[in-house]
Amino acid sequence: MISKNKISELKKLSQKKFREERGLFVVEGTKSMCDLLASSLPVEELFATEAWTEAHRTELSHVPFTVVTPAELERITALSTPQAVLAVVRTPHFTPADLDFGDALLVLDGIRDPGNLGTILRTADWFGFRQVLCSEECVEWTNPKTVQATMGSFTRVKVVYANLPECLSQPQVQGRIFGTFMQGEPIQNIDFQKNDILVIGNEGKGISPEVAQCVQQRVSVPLASANPSHAESLNASIAAAIVMYEFRR
């Protein structure tokens, strides 16, 4: 049984203000939960149906959990369709000092859509990008829609928020800085190195002028359509996927 106060506390975590104040965020769904429980992220509380807890006794051996009814889960979920399990997790905080500039780095400038950010993090995980640097204008990765869209990849990708021009101007930066633009060298022509940096811009405005000054080479995903009436641009998460694929290729 969950008290009214507890329900109120959990519902508040759907808001950025309360997530930041309390240093907590919510994870829902079996796939994300199994990845979470296999990670080192600290789980504060976990709520699940009796059937779910019985099926996952081994994974639950090291975390506090409460058995709840589907109706109770429906009252605390941030999703339109309640899942069988929900956990409250302590938010890890990383700074630019935690970045390894000797390894590949994906940089996101002003990504505002939670689904786009979640998809990009999931794709980064697929292509082996273990660190993502976000501008301070990006949507927070602890947003419930972002967490859901990562499908558990948030447990394997380090996400850092910082002032991009300052961070990309540090002497620690070793690789070349590539930025995606509508006009630039076709991405397939680039011979990437392990420590290069890839910058993806905002969904509508692209890379900001301030960050563009840090870019050393502009690259683009060539238009392949012969139809004069074609899409104006690529979705940010699709562009990121293509660029990461070419980087690894």
Residues 137, 175, 113: CA angle, nearest 5 degrees: 25
- Beta bridge mates, 20: none
- Beta bridge mates, 106: 132, 198
The type of residue at 220 is: S
Residue 14 near residue 144 (C-beta atoms within 8 A)? yes
CA–CA distance, 8 with 2 (Å, rounded to integer): 10
Residue 126 has pLDDT above 90, yes or no: yes
The candidate with the shortest Cα–Cα distance to 144, out of 115, 110, 111, 107, is 115
The strand pair at 131-135 and 158-162 is best described as parallel
pTM above 0.85?
yes
Secondary-structure breakdown of the chain: helix, strand, coil percentages, each rounded to the nearest 5: 35, 20, 40
Residue 224 has pLDDT above 80, yes or no: no
Which of 29-43, 61-75, 212-226 reaches the highest mean pLDDT? 29-43
The domains found in the chain, sorted by start residue, are 4-90 (3.30.1330.30), 96-221+228-248 (3.40.1280.10)
The candidate with the shortest Cα–Cα distance to 123, out of 239, 1, 33, 4, is 239
Residue 230 confidence class, pLDDT cut points 50, 70, 90: low
